[in-house]
């Protein structure tokens, strides 16, 4: 039982192992994860960092360019680095740890995020028995964004025990590229900012270039951001959760899928649902073909979710997705 489900996360909240400056909202607690929310304390900083043995407050003094008040709508500029304190704090038991990842919308908007903890030696991992604040590094990469306090960009999963790598099964994930159809979207370089609170609002043509190919391949260009879909349809049963693990660089010089976590209930129908993949080339242009492997989906057992699994009933945004952009776009 590596992943804790909603009921077990609620128990952590009840026992004050998770607490917040705000009261928790029902839609914050997903089937097997908790949405993390921004406080009003945010800083534009000079560089990324790992705190190790230095207090984050001291790192902020070293790196801060300006302090930002998120009590009002605030512009975060493309390619700038921000560090925001989160509302949620942890007082984890000795046998419980956490792992964070961007929410689906965050990945589809090419917002690079990662959680930092006091004395942390790596991003996004929260040690057993961790006690203290959480901070989120935010780097908008394709679009400038507008957000404010209580916006959620990341989620956290919790694991009990030490056997967190105990996979039930795994499947390979590859890219779907279809001739003479819209097979991908490529982010445009010069656009207006995106207000994250505006849903189904923006015209996709103002922000995205549609890619249609006459062959079963195309070239992803250096430093460009693409949205594609998987060839495989995915089914996550109500007693499972899954995580997409990108293949190492020897499979191709690109980064794939910023988010990568699939809640119980995702695609849990006869046909399943494809994964949306976010690709960015590293140092050189790279040709990508239909069926090319990009990652491995690892399945884990959780205690069964009997109600409110991922899907229409809890107003999940991407339960019926195909090649779907972030929820801010009309599509």
Q: What is the pLDDT of residues 23-65, one digit of tens each?
A: 999 889 999 999 999 999 999 999 999 999 899 999 999 999 9
What percentage of the chain exceeds 90 in pLDDT? 70
Mean pLDDT of 161-177: 84
- Is residue 1 assigned to a domain? no
Q: Which pLDDT score is estimated for 149?
A: 97
Same domain, 148 and 63: yes
Cα–Cα distance for residue pair 160/167, rounded to 1 Å = 15
Mean pLDDT of 134-154: 97
User: Which CATH number do you get for residue 60?
Assistant: 2.70.40.10
Same domain, 212 and 127: no
Mean pLDDT of 268-285: 85
State which residues form the domain around 135.
6-160
Write out the DSSP string of 238-281: TTEEEEEEEPPGGG-SEEE-S--EE-TTTT-SSS-EEEEEEEEE
Same domain, 308 and 201: yes
- Is residue 69 assigned to a domain? yes
Q: Residue 158 pLDDT more than 80? A: yes
Same domain, 46 and 187: no
Cα–Cα distance for residue pair 162/26, rounded to 1 Å = 29
Same domain, 75 and 139: yes
**Which of 132, 160, 188 corresponds to the end of one domain?**
160
Paired tokens of 183: 């097979």
Mean pLDDT of 214-243: 92
Mean pLDDT of the chain: 90
Same domain, 173 and 229: yes
Mean pLDDT of 211-216: 94
- Is residue 290 assigned to a domain? yes
Q: Which pLDDT score is estimated for 224?
A: 93
- Is residue 293 assigned to a domain? yes
Same domain, 175 and 155: no
pLDDT-based confidence at residue 311 (cuts at 50, 70, 90): low
Same domain, 314 and 188: yes
Number of domains comprising the chain: 2
Residue 31 Cα to chain centre, angstroms: 15
Mean pLDDT of 226-248: 88
- Is residue 98 assigned to a domain? yes
Paired tokens of 211: 């890619």
pLDDT-based confidence at residue 319 (cuts at 50, 70, 90): low
- Is residue 13 assigned to a domain? yes
Write out the DSSP string of 137-148: EEEE-SS-EEE-
Cα–Cα distance for residue pair 25/139, rounded to 1 Å = 26
- Is residue 72 assigned to a domain? yes
Same domain, 59 and 86: yes
Same domain, 182 and 325: yes
Task: Identify the weakest region by mean pLDDT among 16-30, 53-67, 281-295.
Answer: 281-295
How confident is the model over 196-205, as pLDDT tens digits?
999 999 999 9
How confident is the model over 93-135, as pLDDT tens digits?
999 999 999 999 999 999 999 999 999 999 999 999 999 999 9
- Terminal CA-CA length for the chain: 38
**Which of 160, 182, 197 corresponds to the end of one domain?**
160
Same domain, 63 and 104: yes
Mean pLDDT of 178-197: 95
Q: Residue 250 pLDDT more than 50? A: no
Q: Residue 268 pLDDT more than 50? A: yes
φ/ψ bin of 291: left (φ > 0), alpha (ψ from -120 to 50), beta (otherwise): left
- Pick from 108, 129, 109: which is nearest to 118 by CA? 129
**Which of 142, 160, 178 corresponds to the end of one domain?**
160
Same domain, 142 and 202: no
């Amino acid at each position: 039982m590596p992943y804790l489900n909603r009921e077990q996360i609620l128990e952590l909240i009840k026992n004050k192992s998770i607490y917040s400056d705000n009261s928790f909202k029902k839609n914050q607690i997903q089937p097997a994860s908790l949405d993390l929310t921004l406080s009003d304390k945010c800083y534009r900083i000079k560089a990324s960092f790992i705190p190790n043995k230095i207090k984050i407050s001291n790192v902020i003094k070293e790196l801060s360019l300006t302090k930002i008040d998120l009590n009002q709508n605030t512009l975060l500029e493309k390619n700038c680095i921000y560090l925001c304190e989160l509302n949620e704090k942890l007082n984890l038991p000795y046998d419980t740890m956490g792992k964070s990842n961007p929410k689906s919308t965050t990945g589809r908007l090419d917002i690079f995020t990662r959680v930092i903890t006091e004395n942390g030696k790596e991003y996004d991992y929260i040690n057993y028995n961790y006690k203290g604040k959480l901070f989120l590094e935010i780097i908008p990469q394709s679009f400038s964004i507008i957000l404010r306090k209580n916006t959620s960009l990341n989620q956290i999963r919790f694991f009990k025990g030490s056997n967190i790598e105990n996979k039930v099964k795994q499947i390979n994930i590859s890219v779907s590229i279809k001739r003479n159809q819209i097979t991908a979207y490529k982010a445009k370089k010069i656009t207006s900012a995106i207000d994250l609170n505006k849903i189904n609002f923006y015209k996709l043509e103002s922000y995205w270039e549609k890619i249609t190919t006459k062959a079963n391949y195309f070239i992803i260009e250096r430093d460009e951001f693409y949205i594609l879909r998987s060839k495989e349809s995915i089914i996550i049963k109500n007693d499972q959760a899954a995580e997409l693990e990108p293949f190492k660089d020897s499979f191709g010089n690109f980064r794939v899928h910023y988010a990568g976590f699939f809640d119980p209930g995702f695609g849990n129908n006869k046909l399943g649902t494809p994964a949306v993949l976010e690709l960015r080339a590293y140092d050189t242009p790279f040709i990508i073909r239909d069926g090319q492997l990009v990652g491995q989906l690892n399945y884990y057992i959780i205690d069964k979710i009997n109600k409110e699994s991922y899907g229409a009933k809890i107003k999940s945004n991407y339960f019926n997705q195909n090649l779907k952009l972030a929820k801010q776009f009309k599509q």
